[in-house]
Amino acid sequence: MSSILINAYCTHRNPPPLDFRHQFNNRRDRSDPNLVPHLRQFIGFVLDDGQREMTQTLYHVMRHIERVQQQFSFEIDERVFRSFSKWARSANAIVYLPDGTVRDPSGAVLVDPETGLADEGADVPYPKDALIRRKANHAKLQPLGIEVPATLPPVVSDAEVHLRSPEAVALRCLSLLVVSIKGSTAAAGEDIPLETLKELYPLGFRDLTPSEKAFLLAPHPDEPTNIAFSWRYEALLILLWSLGHVSKLELPTTMCEGTVGDDLDGEQNQIKFVNSARLRPLDKILDAYDIHYRLHWATTDARINEREMPAGLMDGVVAERHYAFNWLVRFEDAAWDNVTTPT
């Protein structure tokens, strides 16, 4: 029997032990600075550096690679492939083999190195809770007249995600509050002095991003820039909700009240807010994240095809909410200024 060199790409933060006969070579996780660049190169290989026409399977493979938390390299005997396959399913892994194929846990080809095509029946794996969440949210959206494709992937699962810390979320809230106030008052012709903002929200200046600093220091930002930052109230709402500071998220059919976060002025209030920050239960956050991802697909589809927004959704509000969720779950490990919201 011949041996097989396996490179397994697992999205689970803590995959199960390798409980089958194998010859171990290497293992690395997100703490290894070389893993993320390697994953980007792997995506480039899968997409043939952008030369391949995007298919549903290629899209799912790309998203899987972006979520990889652990990479294993080992050799196995062909006779233990069934045991390995069971482990790969539990670890939510896809596999790269020396013949250049990318395969699902059962061994079916997901990406042929020559054609980019998949075997019939090949299936990119997802954790069970993520699939259940997707199905439940589709059922919630359908009665509202919001139709999204059943093939739209689920968001990260409980076992895959690593949320921002409560302190980081609280500080991000305060920074968003500062720039939202600055943007909205300037857009209304009632520009609030920077020194006044510093007096009211001192901790809001502790974690500003480069783009936020540039905005606050600009002598006369133009109207589109002021309006863009005023929309950050919608992102702020999501992060305040994630901390339990907002009780409920309504369907995003209207802009949130400009009074959101009004009780966070004053240094002592802000210190208490940061020190007492606690995130909602993970399943509640992922439920809301998944449904907003689907809402964003629906509004994007309506806009591209010049149709009326379903259920009265506001696409700008949905986009800002999705942006905040993607930062919260570390989508693509992006810093706030670099968050993307692909649908």
Amino acid in position 148 = V
Inter-residue contact 235 to 324 (CB < 8 Å): yes
Residue 257, pLDDT score: 76
In this structure, the number of other CB atoms found within 10 A of the CB of residue 72 comes to 22
Buried b (16+ CB within 10 A) or exposed e, 188-202: eeeeeeeeebeebbb
Encoded tokens for 116: 């980019």
For the chain of 343 residues, list the mean pLDDT of each consecutive stretch of 10: 90 95 96 95 96 95 95 95 96 97 98 96 96 96 94 94 97 97 93 93 97 95 95 97 96 86 92 97 98 98 96 97 98 94 93
* pLDDT at residue 95, as a whole number: 98
Residue 53 C-alpha from the chain's centroid:
24
H-helix or E-strand spanning residue 224: helix 223-230
Q: What is the largest CA-CA distance in the chain?
A: 77
Q: Are 176 and 232 in contact (CB under 8 A)?
A: yes
| Half-sphere exposure (Cβ direction) of 239: Cα atoms closer than 13 Å | 32
The whole-angstrom separation of Cα 321 and Cα 47 is 29
Q: Do 260 and 236 meet the contact criterion of CB atoms below 8 Å apart?
A: yes
- List phi, psi (to 5°) of 82: -65, -40
- Contact (CB, 8 A) for 311 and 144: yes
Residue 290 CB partners (closer than 8 Å, separation 6+)? 130, 133, 134, 137, 154, 155
Q: How far is CA 305 from CA 68, 124, 300, 301, 312, in A?
A: 33, 29, 9, 6, 16
Q: Which of 273, 13, 44, 39 is nearest to 167 (CA)?
A: 273
Strand 93-96 relative to strand 102-103, pairing: antiparallel
CA-to-CA distance for 170 and 279, rounded, in angstroms?
10
Q: Which residue has the tokens 């794996």?
A: 125
